[in-house]
Every structure is written in C-alpha cells, then in structure tokens.
C-alpha cells in the first residue's frame, strides 16, 4: 500500500513539475515572441531568460524536456541573432544592428556612371591598434558616425568627403543611411518614449529635410555616436582624439545664430537633448497651422533643437549656486540628471567649408561643384519640393481627415445602398 501511495504521489509530483515547467516555457515563448514581432514588450531579456533556465534546472529529472546545456547569453553584438536579427544591447533590451538597419550587407551595389557606391565602414580595430601609434581612449560617446543621403550611389564630391571622414576617424564605424534605411529605423521600433511619433509623422508632407530632422535625433537617441551632414568635411582638428572628450555626454558646434549645430553633433544613447528635441518637434508638428507651407527651421529644424537643448540643460539654471548660466556659450554645461553638453565655436577650426561655388570641369564644361553634383546624381544639392498638391490646413485637420476618411466612405456607401433599397420598396408598392 505504501509503495502504491508513494508511486501515485511521485507521479502526481512529477506531473505537477512537468506542468510547471511547461507553463514557464510557454510564458517564455510568448514573451520572446512579443519582443521579436512587435518589440512592444520592453523587458530585460537577459534576466528573463536566465530566470527561465534557473527555474528549469532547479527541477530534477527534466532532461527530457530541454537540453541541459546552458545557453550562452551575452551582450556581444555578434552573439545573439536568433530573433529576427535583433540583438541584446548593454541594457538587456533588443536592438537591431546598424548593419541590418542600413542594409550594409548588400554587396556589390551597382550604380550608373559616373556615380560611385558608398559602403559602410566597419574598422578592424585590432589591426588598426597594431599599426597606429596613438590608440584612442575609451569614450562615453560611441565611436559611430551616421550620415544620410537619398541613395548609396553618390557623386564624386561626396565620395571624397566620405573618404575624408574615414581618414580622420579610422576607429569609428561609419554608417551610410539611404532613404530605405531612414524608413527602416522609423518602422523598426515601437518608440514607446515617443508615443505620438507615428501619428505626427503623417503631418510631415515633405520627406526631405523635415523627415531627416526627426530621423537624425532618433538614430542618435537609439544608438549614440556622431551625426554629420553628408557634405561636411572634417579638418585636421576634428579627429579621433579631439575635440570630443572621453567624458563628454554630448558635443555641439555653434551655428551662425549661436544655436547648437544641427548639421554636426554627438551624443550618448538616450541623451536628454535628443529626447526633448524629438518631443519639441512632435509638439510643433501638432500645432502646425498649415502643413502645406511649414517653416522647416522652426518646426523640425535648428530652432526645435535649440529648445530641446535648452530644456535638457535646464535653461542654464544652476540651483546650487542660485544663478543662471549661458548654456549657448562655448564651454561645458551640466543639465538634467547631470548629463553634460560641450559646445565649441565653429569657424574654420573643425570643418573645411565645402566650396560648392568652386568652378570644376564636368564633361568638358565649366560649372560649380553644386551643379556638378546635380548633374551626376540628378538630385539637387538643396532640393526644392513641390508644395502645389499638398493638403492645406492644420495638422489636426489632416489627422481627422485621414482617420475618418474610411469611416465616412463606408457610411456614405451604406447610406447610398439604404436609399436604393427604399426606392426599390417604393416601386414595388406602386406596382
């Protein structure tokens, strides 16, 4: 009797154990699936999977349910590619590699003459360190450079500029984002920090400068690093070691109005300046009175960055010393949660002016560099967008029209069918 009771008890216990393990495994699968396909469950994947493994291993005799070999859970970029090529970053949250976002593995790229393909630059830092006499010290701002253009097929003047960045920053990864990569970043994440992003982007009717203004803040907020306009040429003074310091959280030059430069900046991931700037842009889009004629500088451009920078830097209020500092002056400034921002005057110290009016030869004809870039690529250097066929009204009016267009169309169709049915009934009565 006791043997039978023990056997039943063991069976019941084993059944309970099996049920518990299956429940844990089921929850794990559901959570990972949510992360993989919607990226909306923002959990620490490392800790979660570790907890699952420990829950399994603390139960005896479960070798039939899983492989007892421990999973190699790591934050190395190349180690975890099992979930839609998404990786686990240093904070344990899933991040898509920039090489994937930018389609950097596409090779070769075929370009029509005289255009030249531009590929991402991923340095072999070990080999460089063996050859370089001055190895750069570890730095808070990631050694990444982001630049963007409509296509990876670039005219010769921009190719020379790209090579100049590689020469000045040999230890930096350089990612070239074309239009597809820009859209891929916007679509890849749920951007829970910016819950109105997708809706407000519907009010961005000019996909050139306005879209890039939003994108450049998002890409640096997510990955950190340097953003530069594609036509900026770094001077000898702008390099691996200077002027961005190892303990800088953010770095800006000054534009012509002493605002922080939107055409060149560097930040750590999730820096409050990028956070506040994106929210400032979304707020200005929401308040836009005529989306057919936006003042880009003030809606998504440098003025929005100026205010995002100001909010992050607490508008220069130093509560400890009870005085206000000029956060737009040259120097180091401390803002919210002790995040810093370093700002320098521009002049010609860090950037070589791109002499777009310099006369050059193209197919035996004298023209400016700006004209040659247009002739080679078919894309104007400063592209004017056609605004003649754009919705004229406020952002909110457009959103209402878009959100209710389908509903109104359906209701009209239903009303039309209803009217037709009533007419048929009246005819039947007369017959």
- The percent of residues in the chain predicted with pLDDT above 70, rounded, is 67
- Give the model confidence (pLDDT) of 190-209 as tens digits: 999 999 999 999 999 877 89
Within 10 angstroms of residue 121's Cβ, the number of other Cβ atoms is: 18
- Same-domain check for residues 59 and 165: no
Q: Which of 79-93, 286-300, 305-319 has the lowest mean pLDDT?
A: 79-93
- Give the model confidence (pLDDT) of 303-312 as tens digits: 999 999 999 9
- Same-domain check for residues 151 and 262: yes
CA separation for the pair 218, 371 (Å, rounded): 32
- Give the model confidence (pLDDT) of 372-391 as tens digits: 887 887 765 545 555 666 78
What is the tally of structural domains in the chain? 3
- Same-domain check for residues 147 and 232: yes
- Give the model confidence (pLDDT) of 144-170 as tens digits: 999 999 999 999 889 999 999 999 999
What pLDDT, on a 0 to 100 scale, did the predictor assign at position 289? 93
Regarding beta strands 87-88 and 94-95, do their DSSP bridges make them parallel or antiparallel, or are they unpaired?
antiparallel
- Give the model confidence (pLDDT) of 113-127 as tens digits: 889 999 999 998 877
Q: How many Å separate Cα 87 from the centre of its chain?
A: 15
- Same-domain check for residues 45 and 144: no
Mean of the per-residue pLDDT values of the chain: 77
Q: Which residue has the tokens 């250097």?
A: 381
CATH classification of the domain holding 354: 3.90.550
CA separation for the pair 229, 185 (Å, rounded): 18
CA separation for the pair 302, 255 (Å, rounded): 9
CA separation for the pair 405, 392 (Å, rounded): 16
The reply to whether 389 falls in a domain is: no
Q: What is the mean pLDDT of residues 387-408?
A: 80
What pLDDT, on a 0 to 100 scale, did the predictor assign at position 87? 52
The reply to whether 383 falls in a domain is: no
- Same-domain check for residues 85 and 153: no
* Boundary of a domain, candidates 49, 66, 95: 95
- pLDDT of residue 55 exceeding 70: no
The reply to whether 162 falls in a domain is: yes
SS3 content of the chain, % helix, strand, coil (to 5): 45, 15, 40
Within 10 angstroms of residue 409's Cβ, the number of other Cβ atoms is: 10
The reply to whether 4 falls in a domain is: no
- Give the model confidence (pLDDT) of 163-190 as tens digits: 999 999 999 999 999 999 999 999 999 9
Please say whether the dihedral angle defined by the alpha carbons of residues 98, 100, 105 and 111, taken in this order, is positive or negative.
negative
Higher-pLDDT residue of 221 and 378 is 221
- Same-domain check for residues 428 and 353: no
What would the two tokens of residue 242 be? 């200077």
The reply to whether 138 falls in a domain is: yes
What would the two tokens of residue 172 be? 């930096």
- Same-domain check for residues 190 and 48: no
The reply to whether 382 falls in a domain is: no
- Same-domain check for residues 269 and 333: yes
The reply to whether 386 falls in a domain is: no
**Please, which residues have CB within 8 angstroms of residue 366's CB and are 6 or more apart in sequence?**
359, 360
What pLDDT, on a 0 to 100 scale, did the predictor assign at position 306? 97
What pLDDT, on a 0 to 100 scale, did the predictor assign at position 420? 54
- Same-domain check for residues 199 and 268: yes
Nearest to 243 by CA among 256, 226, 221: 226
CA separation for the pair 104, 120 (Å, rounded): 6
Query: pLDDT-derived band of residue 141, with 50, 70 and 90 as boundaries?
Result: very high
What would the two tokens of residue 203 be? 């009010």
- Same-domain check for residues 156 and 33: no
What pLDDT, on a 0 to 100 scale, did the predictor assign at position 383? 53
- Same-domain check for residues 45 and 172: no
- pLDDT of residue 22 exceeding 90: no
3-state secondary structure of 367: strand
What pLDDT, on a 0 to 100 scale, did the predictor assign at position 6? 42
Beta strands in 45-192 (DSSP E): 87-88, 94-95, 116-117, 144-148, 153-154, 173-177
- pLDDT of residue 68 exceeding 70: no
* Boundary of a domain, candidates 325, 355, 370: 370
- Give the model confidence (pLDDT) of 232-288 as tens digits: 999 999 999 999 999 999 999 999 999 999 999 999 999 999 999 999 999 999 999
Helical H segments across 58-148, by residue range: 98-101, 125-131
- pLDDT of residue 29 exceeding 80: no
- Same-domain check for residues 73 and 22: yes
Helical H segments across 248-368, by residue range: 272-286, 296-299, 302-312
What would the two tokens of residue 199 be? 């809706």
The reply to whether 323 falls in a domain is: yes
Q: What's the N-to-C CA distance of the chain in angstroms? A: 89
Task: Write out the residue range of the structural domain in which residue 426 sits.
Answer: 394-431
């Amino acid at each position: 009797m006791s043997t039978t009771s023990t056997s039943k008890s063991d069976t019941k216990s084993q059944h309970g154990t099996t049920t518990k393990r299956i429940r844990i495994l089921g929850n794990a699968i559901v959570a990972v699936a949510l992360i993989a396909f919607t990226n909306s469950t923002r959990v620490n994947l490392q800790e979660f999977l570790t907890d699952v493994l420990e829950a399994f291993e603390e139960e005896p005799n479960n070798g039939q349910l899983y492989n007892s070999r421990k999973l190699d859970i790591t934050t190395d970029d190349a180690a975890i590619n099992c979930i839609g090529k998404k990786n686990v970053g240093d904070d344990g949250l899933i991040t898509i590699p920039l090489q994937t976002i930018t389609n950097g593995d596409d090779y070769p790229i075929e370009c029509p003459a005289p255009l030249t393909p531009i590929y991402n630059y991923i340095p072999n830092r070990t080999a460089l360190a063996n050859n370089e006499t001055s190895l750069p010290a570890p730095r808070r701002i990631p050694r990444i450079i982001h630049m963007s253009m409509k296509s990876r097929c670039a005219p010769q003047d921009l190719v020379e500029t790209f090579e100049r960045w590689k020469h000045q920053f040999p230890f930096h990864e350089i990612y070239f984002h074309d239009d597809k990569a820009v859209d891929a970043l916007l679509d890849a994440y749920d951007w829970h920090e910016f819950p109105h992003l997708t809706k407000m982007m519907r009010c961005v009717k000019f996909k050139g400068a306005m879209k890039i203004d939003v994108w450049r803040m998002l890409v640096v907020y997510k990955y950190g690093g340097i953003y530069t306009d594609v036509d900026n040429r770094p001077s000898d003074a702008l390099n691996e070691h200077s002027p961005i310091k190892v303990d800088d959280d953010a770095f800006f030059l000054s534009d012509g109005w002493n605002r922080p430069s939107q055409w060149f900046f560097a930040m750590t991931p999730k820096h409050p300046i990028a956070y506040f700037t994106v929210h400032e842009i979304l707020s200005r889009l929401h308040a836009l009175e005529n989306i057919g004629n936006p003042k880009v500088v003030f809606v998504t451009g440098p003025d929005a960055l100026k205010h995002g920078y100001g909010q992050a830097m607490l508008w220069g209020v130093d509560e400890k010393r009870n005085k206000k500092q000029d956060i737009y002056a040259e120097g180091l400034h401390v803002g919210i949660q002790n995040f810093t921002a370093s700002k320098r005057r521009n002049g010609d110290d860090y950037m070589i002016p791109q002499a777009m009016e310099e006369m050059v030869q193209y197919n035996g004809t004298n023209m400016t560099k700006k004209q040659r870039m247009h002739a080679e690529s078919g894309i104007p250097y400063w592209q004017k967008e056609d605004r003649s066929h754009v919705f004229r009204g406020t952002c909110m009016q457009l959103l209402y029209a878009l959100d209710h267009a389908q509903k109104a169309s359906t209701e009209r169709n239903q009303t039309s069918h209803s009217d037709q049915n009533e007419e048929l009934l009246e005819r039947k009565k007369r017959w």
